[in-house]
């Protein structure tokens, strides 16, 4: 028995298999098969939130230079359903790329997005063990900053995301563990989380397909491309290595969506072993 195999597996053709032919056709669409419906720029050390309707594609681009982005995803109709980073690590990988999916929390447990485009897909693992598009860590936040540095700073990713979702009547309690796009991370020999300079360059992109109506939020990390340490004795001012990011949302021609059905929520309908009880007794 190979104990190094992935713990979570399904039979061929099961729920973890992705129709790569279908999603590759969407990735490789021509201009006549798509229409730009939303376009925005996320300034440095800021956050924005936007809607990606079901069956649409969203692309995040490094429009000026390398920049790490922290992203959150919610069901637009019910934000209690949101991205589950830990389960996605188990079902997919700790670093994601083309044809991986981001999965939602219980009791929903279904794919929220399928990644269809990644200009850094061939980066693989570098000599230090770093990989890109990270689900290992989470967002920087002012609480840890205060604890480690003794200073308040309002533009960490947690705060950026909190401001971004406020117009949608969500709060910091709705901000959750993130997908770190363009971020290069790994675990060192002591099993400690490390971050290193992003390998992204101007024009790199990360693109995903919305499996149902989504609210998406993005923070341009105050660490920029992470070439300047954010914490510790070597910490410095990373303002000079911060860049804005571009966001585009595209609708797709019906021909590209033929046969696609939005995923249903998890089929489990039990009550976790709890039985009816007359609490008046």
Q: What's the rounded mean pLDDT across residues 5-12? A: 87
Q: What is the pLDDT of residue 210?
A: 98
Pick the more confident residue, 234 or 141.
141
Least confident of 81-90, 138-147, 229-238: 229-238
Q: What is the pLDDT of residue 46?
A: 98
Q: What's the rounded mean pLDDT across residues 189-208? A: 97
Task: Single out the residue of 79, 78, 80, 29 nearest to residue 55, CA to CA.
Answer: 29
Q: Is the pLDDT of residue 13 over 90?
A: no
Confidence band, pLDDT 50/70/90 cuts, at residue 277? low
Span 246-257, pLDDT tens digits: 999 999 999 999
Q: What is the pLDDT of residue 125?
A: 97
Span 105-124, pLDDT tens digits: 999 999 999 999 999 999 99
Span 130-150, pLDDT tens digits: 999 999 999 999 999 999 888
What pTM, to 2 d.p., does this model score? 0.94
Which residue ranges make up each domain of the chain? 43-53+63-207+215-240
DSSP per-residue string spanning 25-83: HHHT--GGGEEEEEEEEE-TT-EEEEEE-TT-EEEEE-SSS---EEEEEEESS-TTSBB
Q: What is the pLDDT of residue 133?
A: 98
Q: State the residue for tokens 């990390």.
A: 221
Q: Is the pLDDT of residue 3 over 70?
A: no
């Amino acid at each position: 028995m190979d104990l190094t195999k992935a713990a979570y597996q399904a039979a061929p053709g099961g729920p973890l298999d992705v129709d790569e032919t279908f999603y590759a056709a969407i990735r490789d669409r021509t201009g006549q098969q798509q229409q730009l419906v939303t376009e925005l720029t996320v300034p440095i050390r800021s956050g924005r939130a936007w809607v990606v309707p079901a069956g649409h594609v969203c692309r995040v681009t490094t429009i000026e230079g390398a920049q790490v982005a922290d992203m959150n995803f919610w069901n637009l109709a019910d934000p209690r359903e949101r991205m589950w980073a830990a389960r996605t690590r188990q079902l997919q990988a700790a670093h994601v790329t083309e044809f991986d999916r981001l999965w939602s929390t219980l009791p929903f447990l279904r794919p929220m997005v399928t990644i269809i485009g990644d200009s850094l897909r061939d980066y693989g693992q570098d000599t230090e063990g770093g990989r890109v598009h990270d689900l290992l860590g989470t967002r920087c936040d002012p609480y840890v900053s205060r604890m480690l540095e003794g200073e308040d700073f309002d533009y960490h990713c947690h705060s950026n995301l909190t401001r971004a979702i406020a117009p949608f009547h969500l709060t910091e309690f709705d901000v959750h563990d993130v997908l770190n796009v363009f971020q290069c991370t790994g675990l060192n020999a002591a099993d400690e989380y490390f971050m290193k300079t992003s390998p992204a360059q101007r024009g790199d992109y990360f693109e995903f397909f919305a499996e149902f109506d989504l609210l998406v939020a993005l923070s341009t990390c105050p660490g920029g491309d992470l070439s300047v340490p954010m914490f510790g004795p070597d910490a410095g001012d990373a303002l000079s290595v911060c860049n804005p990011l571009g966001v585009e949302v595209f609708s797709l021609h019906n021909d590209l969506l033929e046969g696609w059905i939005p995923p249903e929520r998890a089929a489990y309908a039990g009550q976790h072993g709890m039985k009816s009880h007359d609490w008046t007794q």
